[in-house]
Structure 1
Amino acid sequence: MALSNNVIGAINFVAMLLSIPIIGTGIWLATEPDNSCVKLLQWPVIILGILFLVVAIAGFVGAFWRIPWLLICYLIAMLVLIILLAALVVFIYMVTIRGSGHLEPSRSYLEYHLDDYSGWLRRRVRSPFKWERIRTCLSSTNMCAELNQSYSMAQDFFNAHITPLQSGCCKPPTQCGYTFVNPTYWISPINNAADMDCLNWNNDQTQLCFNCDSCKAGLLANLKKEWRRADIILLITLIALVAVYLIGCCAFRNAKTEDLFRKYKQGYT
Structure 2
Amino acid sequence: MRFLQWPLIVIGVSIMVISLAGFAGACYRNTFLLRLYLFAMFFIIAALIGFVIFAYAVTAKGSGRVVLNRAYLDYYLGDYSGWLEERVAGDSYWGKISSCIRDSKVCRKMGRDFGGVPESADMFYLRKLSPIESGCCKPPTECGYVYMNETVWNPGGGLVGSEIDCTRWSNDQGQLCYTCDSCKAGVLASLKKSWRKVSVINIVVLIILVIMYVIGCAAFRNNRRIDNDEPYGVNRMTKAQPSRIQF
Q: TM exceeds 0.5?
A: yes
Greater fraction of residues in helix: 1
Q: Name the SS for the 1:41 alignment partner.
A: helix
Structure 1 partner of 2:209: 241
Once the two structures are TM-superposed, the CA of residue 253 in structure 1 deviates from its matched residue by 0.8
Unpaired stretches in structure 1, ≥5 consecutive residues: 1-34
Structure 1 partner of 2:172: 204
Structure 1 partner of 2:41: 78
Deviations 1:209-267 (A, max 9, x none): 11111111111111111211111111111012111101211121111111111122223
Structure 2 partner of 1:88: 51
Structure 2 partner of 1:231: 199
Q: Name the SS for the 2:65 alignment partner.
A: coil
Alignment match of 1:222 (pick from 183, 190, 202) = 190
Instruction: Verify the 8 A CA contact 2:31 2:223 in the aligned structure 1.
Output: no
Alignment partner of 1:126 is 2:89: yes
1:83 partner amino acid: A
Alignment match of 1:47 (pick from 7, 10, 16) = 10
Once the two structures are TM-superposed, the CA of residue 61 in structure 1 deviates from its matched residue by 2.5
Once the two structures are TM-superposed, the CA of residue 175 in structure 1 deviates from its matched residue by 0.6
Q: Name the SS for the 2:147 alignment partner.
A: strand
1:144 partner amino acid: C
Cα distance in 2 for partners of 1:135, 1:267 equals 76
Structure 1 partner of 2:244: none
Please give the residue correspondences for 1:1-269 in structure 2 after superposition, counting only pairs within 5 Å: 35=1, 39-149=2-112, 152-189=119-156, 190-192=158-160, 194-268=162-236, 269=238
Cα distance in 2 for partners of 1:122, 1:52 equals 31
Cα distance in 2 for partners of 1:77, 1:118 equals 35
1:154 partner amino acid: A
Once the two structures are TM-superposed, the CA of residue 143 in structure 1 deviates from its matched residue by 1.5
Structure 2 partner of 1:21: none
Moved more, 143-152 or 104-113: 143-152
Moved more, 255-264 or 67-76: 67-76
Cα distance in 2 for partners of 1:267, 1:75 equals 32
Once the two structures are TM-superposed, the CA of residue 111 in structure 1 deviates from its matched residue by 0.5
Instruction: Verify the 8 A CA contact 2:142 2:161 in the aligned structure 1.
Output: no
Computed over aligned residues only, the root mean square deviation of the Cα atoms, in angstroms, reads 1.6
Structure 2 partner of 1:7: none
Once the two structures are TM-superposed, the CA of residue 43 in structure 1 deviates from its matched residue by 2.0
Deviations 1:166-193 (A, max 9, x none): 0001100001111111111111242325
Q: Normalising by structure 2, what TM-score?
A: 0.88
Greater fraction of residues in strand: 2
Cα distance in 2 for partners of 1:64, 1:239 equals 23
Change (3 A) 1:263 1:118: farther
Q: Name the SS for the 2:219 alignment partner.
A: helix
Q: Normalising by structure 1, what TM-score?
A: 0.82
Cα distance in 2 for partners of 1:85, 1:182 equals 46
Structure of higher CA gyration radius: 2
Q: Aligned residues, how many? A: 232
Once the two structures are TM-superposed, the CA of residue 134 in structure 1 deviates from its matched residue by 0.7
Structure 2 partner of 1:6: none
Once the two structures are TM-superposed, the CA of residue 206 in structure 1 deviates from its matched residue by 1.4
Cα distance in 2 for partners of 1:236, 1:247 equals 17
Cα distance in 2 for partners of 1:43, 1:155 equals 44
Unpaired stretches in structure 2, ≥5 consecutive residues: 239-247
**Percent of aligned pairs with the same residue?**
44
